[in-house]
Amino acid sequence: MKIRIAVAGTNTPCDREGLADLVDGLEKRRFDTLWLSDTPLTPAVEPLMALAIASARTTRLKLGTNVVIPGRNPLLLAKELAHLDRLTDGRLLLAFMPGIGSRTERAALGVEGVDRNVVLAKTIELCRRWWAGEAVTDEFADYRYDEVTVGPEPVQAPLEIWLGGNGPKGLQLTATHGDGWLGARATPAQASQSRRTIEAVAASVGRRIDDDHFGISIPYERLMLDDATAAAVMKRAAGDGDAPVDRADILPVGASEIVALLGRHIDAGISKFVLRPMSLRDGWDAELDFLAEHALPLQN
């Protein structure tokens, strides 16, 4: 398996110098990917804009983002992502997400009462048609496309779309529409079971997810963990309400726990990792030095 280590910004602010420190530090230390999340109702930087800036500062660093899909016009999204892939010279990585699903967010995005998995599936289908150069005639929600094309096409052919989610609907959608799975808040055992479920469903519909296309986002603390943060993360952990989940299998603290958890996930068949510091006490240089010393050696 190709083990790859990405680093996610911690609620990355819309701050030019802070973003530059993160981007330059990742490129210099040869991490695989910068990963930014789309969180529409927070002040965190808009990821597509930030990745465009990051691409101009780098030559090899891959640029990944979780994109919240409900509420977006699929045509504009397909064009934005195709152009971003060209501007980054084919270094764009994508995960499509349904959003947090709160009543406030659904209302703000105009998708109250909408099945977000249906939106995800249709948007993926439309994007792939446009990225393949097709003139699309279709209707979806309030949008009507009459022989509409998107150009120029992405550099990557195909431009892959990964999906997330630990629940049955998310795993089903990954199997039927995704190119890979990027989970979160799952133990190695749960991630392994999710992989097996995805592979079985994919096989049943004549699809196959590449062996190297299973990853997980891992929050961690470098030095210490306060009780409130631990409680908040564990409350949202996969399996909450069922069997007890070991905190070190979801939120590792310190080098030994982080390395051990990565090893358990690798043994479970997971090979792509997005490491997300829960706090940034001493700036990005210190954080990236720590990860470069302890986690980056696993990258092959």
Question: What is the DSSP annotation of 99-114?
Answer: ----HHHHHHHT-TT-
Taking the C-alpha atoms of residue 254 and residue 248, their distance in angstroms, rounded to an integer, is: 10
Q: Could you tell me whether strands 214-220 and 180-184 are parallel, antiparallel, or unpaired per DSSP bridges?
A: parallel
pLDDT tens, position by position, 36-76: 999 989 999 999 999 999 999 999 999 999 999 999 999 99
What pTM value is reported for the model? Answer: 0.93
Q: Please, which pLDDT band fits residue 264 given cuts at 50, 70 and 90?
A: very high
| Contact present, 227 and 282 (Cβ < 8 Å) | no
CA 5 to chain centre: 13
Q: Any residues with CB less than 8 A from the CB of 254 and at least 6 apart, and which?
A: 221, 222, 223
Query: What are the boundaries of each domain within the chain?
Result: 4-129+157-298
pLDDT tens, position by position, 157-206: 999 999 998 899 999 999 999 999 999 999 999 999 999 999 999 999 99
Question: What class, spelled out in words, does domain 4-129+157-298 have in CATH?
Answer: alpha beta
Q: Any residues with CB less than 8 A from the CB of 261 and at least 6 apart, and which?
A: 188, 218, 248, 249, 252
Taking the C-alpha atoms of residue 54 and residue 292, their distance in angstroms, rounded to an integer, is: 20
Cis peptide leading into 154, omega within 30 of 0? no
